[in-house]
Amino acid sequence: MKTKSIDFLAELEKRERWIASYLKSKEFEEWFYPAHLKEAVYSYVNRSGKRLRPAVLLLSCGAVGGKEEEAVPAAAAVEMFHTWTLVHDDLIDNDERRRGGLTVHAQSSKLAQQQMNYPENQAKDYGRHIAILAGDVQQGWAVSLLCDCSLKGDLDPRVTLTLIRMLESYVLNTLVSGETLDIQFSKQAIESLEPERILDMLWRKTGALYEYAAKAGAMIGLNSTHADDRRIVALSNFTSRCGTAFQLQDDILGIIGDEKQLGKPVGSDIREGKRTTIIYYAFKNATLEQKARLKSVLGNSEATREQIDQIRQLLIELGGVSETKRLAEQIIQKARTELDVLEDSSYKQLLLAWADFMIARNF
Amino acid sequence: MKTKSIDFLAELEKRERWIASYLKSKEFEEWFYPAHLKEAVYSYVNRSGKRLRPAVLLLSCGAVGGKEEEAVPAAAAVEMFHTWTLVHDDLIDNDERRRGGLTVHAQSSKLAQQQMNYPENQAKDYGRHIAILAGDVQQGWAVSLLCDCSLKGDLDPRVTLTLIRMLESYVLNTLVSGETLDIQFSKQAIESLEPERILDMLWRKTGALYEYAAKAGAMIGLNSTHADDRRIVALSNFTSRCGTAFQLQDDILGIIGDEKQLGKPVGSDIREGKRTTIIYYAFKNATLEQKARLKSVLGNSEATREQIDQIRQLLIELGGVSETKRLAEQIIQKARTELDVLEDSSYKQLLLAWADFMIARNF
């Protein structure tokens, strides 16, 4: 198991390099203008990330006998699609940091102050506007990358069109509905939370795009529009489940993670009042006094560092973190069995290691 | 000329109905969830609009001998693409009204106050967030509509992919660069304005999508990826120029238009400090005292109704409006000659009437 996991990280990094170098190629550089917009568009691309979505797309392509290199534009597309959602979500959540640097809106606002002498409030608006436009442009970039599978590569144009339509209707609408529910839930009474509704929201926010990544990889590997092929179904069910578990782990790291390793602040979920399963389980086990303490800090944008730390401790003590951890593990176990229909191969082994990594990671 | 213009309006309305009914079809209704997001996505679709972009796409298809009905999904796509840019631009410009109703962010904010009892500042944030997400979803809807030209219709999939890539890279990036320049210009000294830079910005913001609409219509009509066909080139040059003139007329209506007919407030361009050719020409003819008066109000978000009205009057008196009108007329004249390469047909006549309407309209 240990050697497998070391191999896995090397394999992951190899694919991360393919995607990063594809996205940074000269052709695209000329697309974005003026300078601040370009800087915003490339901001997260230029920082190291896990690139778990493109990785699983490539591995799924390989697992059905396809050539991974032919799926690189599609893998880059899925990464870029994920990136624009980060840019807009960071703006919506008013987060300051991502991948070890400033978020796009915070960075653009800083540029307006430093380079254009904007007063603070105007610089804030400017930063927000650039972040909206940068995300818009990145969505288009993602779609353009998919087009290239057929316009530059040999993929059947009908497969590419099917993939574009699936991404831009089913996946996009599912994902945005999840983000909207997340926003709405954060203002609803904690007592009204049900784990099923939280898991549905998490799946929408995260599972749907992971499901798509595997489906796209497998359809490209088979050069087929038959999404009901049993290997395609197995792979997309597998990543769909893993995606939800990934988000549970994200919520856990948002409470117990290390800020340096994560590259973003721990505790901001508490300040934003995110309704996670951690909150649900902790609240279930809490006394009246503890419930009152939780309520006074969750969603309180003015909460102090000390208050946040106390609530983090309380969420751990009340079993919110451990029960969420258990739930994530169960989901991954179930997901792994989906791959039984695949023949044994190094790709299958890498996919299983990928699944374990989704919840073992600490960044 | 008079009877032609009457015919033209009837032809325009006919096509408006095709597009509206296509966009409102049952299939799409199930895509959007939850309710507030759906309401936001359909908001501008449900209000009457001119639909000049889809109209010129359909007419261009007809003008090269194609069947207009086969281009309806693409025409709806161009309208939807335009719609998401309106939703995001209205948010960026902080405009309150569009097409006779509240803008998407203002409407969503109102819903949060009325239905969810959000306090005002939280409702404002909620409205902004819904508007960001609604625009995102609409961009995806536009792309999905294009896919249907081949997935449901008979268009060569390579033509569709070429059109998608052109829209999602060249057109999108040009358009967003125009919006970014518009934002940046509004904070730059009026003295630094040059008409060429303003016209370039206007073309980016508006001309590029019009250029695309004609190109797409002609490529669909010919079922061809050969964008260098002389008819395709002529039609896209024609609409490219007309698009810039359209934006000049928009700027004029922003000063002298009737709020009721326009469905949006007159004078908000002044409050936002938009750098238009109207400002450029007026400033050129202004005395030092008049320049100072202009500067004190342009871009002043706290300007009173009375101040705005005085500046509107001044911009007219100094020839800013009349010189911009003359410029728009010159551009349309030049654009009309592009169509000389087309054989005479009722479509060509409608296209010429369409060009006249672009700057004759008062809404």
Task: From first to last of the 363 residues of chain A, give the pLDDT tens digit.
Answer: 444 445 899 999 999 999 999 999 999 999 999 999 999 999 999 998 899 999 999 999 999 999 999 999 999 999 999 999 999 999 999 999 999 999 999 999 999 999 999 999 999 999 999 999 999 999 999 999 999 999 999 999 999 999 999 999 999 999 999 999 999 999 999 989 899 999 999 999 999 999 999 999 999 999 999 989 999 999 999 999 999 999 999 999 999 999 999 988 898 999 999 999 999 999 999 999 999 999 999 999 999 999 999 999 999 999 999 999 999 999 999 999 999 999 999 999 999 999 999 999 998
Is any Cβ of chain A less than 8 angstroms from the Cβ of B277? no
Q: Which of B36, B141, B176 sits opposite A137 (nearest CB)?
A: B176
CB contact under 8 A, A172 and B91: no
CA-based nearest distance B356→chain A, Å: 32
Print burial letters for B258-269: b (CB count within 10 Å at least 16), e (below 16). eeeebbbbbbbb
Is any Cβ of chain A less than 8 angstroms from the Cβ of B235? no
The CA-based diameter of chain B, rounded to the nearest angstrom, is: 64
Does the structural domain B2-358 have CATH classification 1.20.1260.10?
no
Considering the domain A2-354 in this protein, what is its CATH number?
A: 1.10.600.10
Q: Which of B88, B161, B183 sits opposite A136 (nearest CB)?
A: B88
User: Exposed/middle/buried for B189, CB within 10 Å: 0-12, 13-18, 19+?
Assistant: exposed
Residue of B nearest to A28 (CA): B169
Cβ pair A218, A230 in contact under 8 A: no
- For chain A, positions 110-149, list CB contacts with chain B under 8 A: 116, 118, 122, 126, 129-130, 132-133, 135-137, 139-141, 143-144, 147-148
Task: Kindly report, residue by residue over A219-234, the tens digit of the pLDDT.
Answer: 999 999 998 999 999 9
Cβ pair B244, B206 in contact under 8 A: yes
Single-letter code of the amino acid located at A342 = L
| Residue found under tokens 């400002």 | B279
Q: What pLDDT sits at residue B6?
A: 59
Domain residue limits, chain A: 2-354
pLDDT mean by block of 10 residues, chain B; 363 residues: 65 96 95 97 94 98 97 98 98 95 98 97 98 98 98 97 98 98 95 93 97 98 94 98 97 94 90 95 96 95 94 97 98 98 95 97 90
CA-based nearest distance B112→chain A, Å: 10
Q: What pLDDT sits at residue B3?
A: 45
Residue of A nearest to B155 (CA): A158
Cβ pair A158, B156 in contact under 8 A: no
